[in-house]
A and B are shown apart, each in its own frame.
Chain A
Amino acid sequence: MREPSLGGIVQTEQDRKRPLLRAGNMNCGGCGMSNIFQLLSHAVAGRDVKLVIPACCGAITAHTYPQSAFDVPTILTTFASAASVATGIAAVAGLNNEETRVICMAGDGGTYDIGMATLSAAAERNENILYICYDNEIYGNTGGQRSSSTPAGAVTTSTPLGKRENKKDIMAIMAAHRIPYAATVSIAHAEDALNKMRTALDTNGFRFLHILSPCPTGWKSEPAMGIELVRLAVRSGLFPVYEVFHGDRYVINIEPDFSDEALSMYLSLQRRFRKSGVTETSLRPGIDKYWHGLRMLSGRIVPARRH
């Protein structure tokens, strides 16, 4: 397994001097979103950035008025309107020839569910927005209810016996919009993550980053295990790490070892899968099927046929 690392995230001259998310924020210990903000701080560097955050844990992160834990101009919006508010901001930046990068930071509820129409419309119009979905697979901010991103078998407060339906394939939906850039990001693979964040920040038009974001309270996992859990999800093939350019060029960035050991570890280190009896054996066919499709799309191993 090839696993690029940063060798510890060291501040370089190109990096932003101050973190986007300052100390004293309201995030839980071990929140994946905190890690995402740390990585994003490095990727943003000297760029002018504005944040748009819908109702989600990110809306609490800033802490109370008048202080703000975000070190950039930030607007908190209603659940379903992040992409539309960002559209307005990006439009005015465009009118004034500003290089501002407008970043939406939204959870899976605001992305997969209530915000889907707004998100899809902004993607269709190819607005100049970077939309980041920190996917903790749960409505974390309301105490842990299922979203359409919650994987089958996961127990949430609204699916006490484990969710029955499979996770929605958000990347396929975004790719179908033929946006300039979409990528999945692993916070356990810092160098790959930074490259993607920089690519997304440098690209114009609608960009989408899908980031698996551990939620210790929702996943019933140890706060310190978050990054390791993401690493296991990537290793086992459960969370494929890839890029999609313009909806048709797929590039797989990290090759998993598809080990049952990694999958078993991933499941056993969280208590949310205990009740439903999901095992590595039950998950494997789904993972294999997804990867078969992904390889077809990426043209690797199984080349695309031309008639």
Chain B
Amino acid sequence: MPVELISANHGAGLAATLAGRANRTGRGFCCGVYPITPATDCMEYLCAQEIEKSKVVRVESEHSAMGVCIGASATGARSFTTTSSNGLAYMAENCVTAASLRLPIVLVVANRTMGPPWNIWADHGDSLMLRDLGWIQIYCADNQEVFDTVLFGFRLAENAEVMMPLMVCMDGFTLSHTIAQINVPEQDMVDRFLPITTVPHQLGSTPHALGQIEVAHQVASHRRQHHEAMEKVFHVYTDIQDEFQQIMDRSLPDPVVSYRIEDAESVIISMGTIGATAEQVVDDLREKGQRVGSLRLRMFRPFPMKSIRENLKTARRVAVIDRDISLGFGGVLWGEIKAVGSRNGLIIQNYMMGIGGGMSGRSIFAGF
């Protein structure tokens, strides 16, 4: 398996290219692309590829980028796009359509602070703003994970039991622009892992309407179906993980990545690249004799409650690190962890780190 030394942006673009080619015997591959820092390079990569049976549409806004993906996916093609920050906010309206029409679109989000005032650096506030739309959200900690999660993401999103859009989140610049090794599978391996897209409710030749008015009980019933599909994600995830292991000969992390958690009294919970730093901090503190562990949430929606509860069995103190703030409340992740982790004697404290791209290195943890 060849190793490429590329950025996570190009890694995401390369994974999308391989996934697109894998659908050449199906309805094809279609992207709507619009640039925004720091996701731009991924879009540039795609625009330079020649993918069999594919079309990349250079649109005039993120709103339309998602629009093109909706049209393509609604007629059965594999579709992909990428954005960040205000681009995601501008795209949000169509993100609702993509989710509610249960279209398996994969979107790579290079997490970035919302503006103005403008700031281009990493912050999870953008993707978390879209928390409740019905998208699967996965946060990555390194370039290999971004690459693998795009391939994996198509497989998961297109699963008949799941059938909904998926967001692959990576910290802006920290990952998007950082060059690292990525193991790249051959096309035939991707072909084996990623069968052709079948969207069961696609617009074919039979007259039917997608997205027309619904009355209250129909809306409630569709929301319930969507919610139940979200809950199925975990077991589908495990199945696909096994297949990924067999075909790619390497593992893909669990929805919750636990580190030295077995006897941990104190647990650091985080998402994205801060999770990788937290693991180093755990090593540092363990050397000092402290029983510390780390939980990195790869999956944020659906929320892996069961797994978190199991991993907090021995914990007495939890530090939730948020690279975001829900103004008037606190950290978004902290709120979620409190909702599932609370039990007698468990202290769940909130820390903000790296907001607006601020420092998030090992030394910062020492101050907590």
Interface residues of A (CB under 8 A from B): 48, 50, 52, 59-60, 62-66, 68, 70-78, 80-81, 83-96, 117-118, 120-121, 125
Give the CA-CA distance A120 to B71 in the complex, in Å: 18
The reply to whether B210 and A52 form a contact with Cβ atoms under 8 Å apart is no
What are 24 A-B pairs at a CB distance below 8 A?
A: A52-B71, A60-B213, A63-B213, A64-B213, A65-B212, A68-B209, A71-B207, A73-B204, A73-B206, A73-B207, A75-B209, A75-B210, A75-B211, A76-B209, A77-B70, A78-B93, A80-B63, A81-B66, A91-B30, A91-B72, A96-B28, A117-B64, A120-B60, A121-B60
Interface flags, B69-105, vs A, CB<8A=1, else 0: 1111111110100000000000001101100010000
CB-based A-B contact count at 8 angstroms: 162
Q: Mark B21-43, 1 if CB is under 8 A from A, else 0.
A: 00000011010100000000000
> Which residue of A59, A87, A95 is within 8 Å of B27 (Cβ)?
A95
Name the segment of B49-57, B134-142, B183-191, B348-356 touching the other chain: B49-57
Question: Do B203 and A73 touch (CB < 8 A)?
Answer: yes
In angstroms, Cα B212 to Cα A74, docked, is: 9
Give bound CA distance, A118 to B93, whole Å: 14
Contact of B207 among A70, A86, A121, A125 (CB under 8 A): A70
Asked if B205 lies at the interface with its beta carbon under 8 angstroms from chain A, I say yes
- Of chain A, the residue at the smallest CB distance from B211 is A76
> Which residues of the other chain, A, contact B70 by a CB distance below 8 angstroms?
75, 77, 81, 84-85, 88
Which chain B residues numbered 100 to 128 have a C-beta less than 8 Å away from chain A? 101
Do residues A89 and B203 form an inter-chain contact, with CB atoms below 8 A?
A: yes
| Nearest-neighbor residue (CB-CB) of B93 within chain A | A78
Task: A91 to B58: give the CA distance in the assembly, Å.
Answer: 12
User: Pick the contact of A85 from B74, B204, B218 — CB < 8 Å?
Assistant: B74
Interface status of B287 (Cβ within 8 A of chain A): no
B61 at the interface (CB under 8 A from A): yes
Q: Which residues of B contact A (CB under 8 A)?
A: 27-28, 30, 32, 53-55, 57-61, 63-77, 79, 93-94, 96-97, 101, 203-215, 218
Inside 8 A of A87's CB, which chain B residues have their CB?
Answer: 32, 57, 59, 64, 67-68, 71
B212 touches A68 (CB 8 A): yes
Residue of A87, A91, A96, A117 with most chain B CB atoms under a 10 A cut-off: A91
CA distance A68 to B213 in the complex (A): 10
Which 3 interchain pairs have the tightest Cβ spacing? A88-B71, A84-B67, A84-B64
B97 to chain A, nearest CB (A): 6
Excluding A50-B203, A78-B96, A88-B32, 4 further A-B contacts by CB distance (< 8 Å) are A84-B65, A88-B73, A93-B75, A94-B55
Contacts of A68 in B (CB 8 A): 207-209, 212
CA gap between A88 and B97 in the complex, in Å:
14
Closest to B64 in A: A84
List chain A residues, Cβ under 8 A from B54.
Answer: 95
- Given the complex, which residues of A lie within 8 Å of B57, measured CB to CB? 87-88, 91, 125
> Roughly how many angstroms separate A70 CA and B210 CA in the complex, as a whole number?
11
Known: A87-B57, A89-B74, A96-B28. A65 touches B67 (CB 8 A): no
The answer to whether A88 touches B211, judged by C-beta atoms less than 8 angstroms apart, is: no
A64 touches B68 (CB 8 A): no
Kindly state the separation between the CA atoms of A219 and B14 in the bound complex, as whole angstroms: 55
A84 and B32 contact, CB distance less than 8 A: yes
Residues in chain B near residue A93, CB distance under 8 A: 75
CB–CB B59/A121 < 8 A:
yes
The complex places the Cα of A59 from the Cα of B28 at a distance, in Å, of 28
Complex Cα distance A78/B99, Å? 13
In the bound assembly, the distance between CA atoms of A62 and B205 in angstroms comes to 17
Compute how far the CA of A181 lies from the CA of B351 in the bound complex, rounded to whole angstroms: 60
Residue of A71, A118, A125 touching B67 (CB-CB under 8 A): A118
B30 engages A65 (CB within 8 Å): no
Q: How far apart are the CA atoms of A72 and B71 in the complex, in Å?
A: 15
Q: Bound state CA distance, A48 and B60, in angstroms?
A: 28
Task: Report whether A95 and B28 are in contact in the complex, using a CB–CB cutoff of 8 Å.
Answer: yes
**Minimum C-beta distance from B72 to chain A (A):** 4
Residues of chain A contacted by B101 (CB below 8 angstroms): 75
Min CB–CB distance B365 → chain A (angstroms): 43
Instruction: Knowing A74-B210, A94-B55, A95-B28 are in contact, say whether A88-B75 is a contact too (CB < 8 A).
Output: yes
CB distance A59 to B59 under 8 Å? no
Contact of B68 among A60, A91, A96 (CB under 8 A): A91
The answer to whether A77 and B97 have CB atoms under 8 Å apart is: yes
In whole angstroms, what is the CA distance A65 to B216 when docked?
11
In the bound complex, CA of A80 to CA of B96 (Å) = 14
Give bound CA distance, A88 to B30, whole Å: 7
Per the bound structure, the CA–CA distance linking A82 and B260 in Å amounts to: 51
- B97: which A residues are within 8 A, CB to CB? 77-78, 81
B77 to chain A, nearest CB (A): 4
B71 with A85: CB separation less than 8 A? yes
Q: How far is the CA of A64 from the CA of B217 in the complex (A)?
A: 12
Q: With the chains together, A74 CA to B75 CA distance in Å?
A: 11
Chain B residues with CB below 8 A from A73, complex form: 203-209
A188 to B126: give the CA distance in the assembly, Å: 51
Contact A85 B213 (CB under 8 A): no
Which of A66, A70, A85, A118 has most B Cβ within 10 Å? A85
Residues of B within 8 A of A60 (CB): 213
Question: Which residues from chain B contact A75 at a C-beta distance below 8 Å?
Answer: 70-71, 74, 101, 203, 209-211
> What distance in Å separates the Cβ of A285 from its nearest Cβ neighbour in chain B?
37
**Contacts A88-B79, A95-B77: A72 and B207 contacting too (C-beta < 8 A)?**
yes
- CB–CB A65/B218 < 8 A: yes
Contact among A76, A78, A121 for B210, CB-based, below 8 A: A76
- List, in ascending order, chain A residues with CB within 8 A of B94's CB: 78, 81
- Assembly CA distance A53 to B78 (angstroms): 22
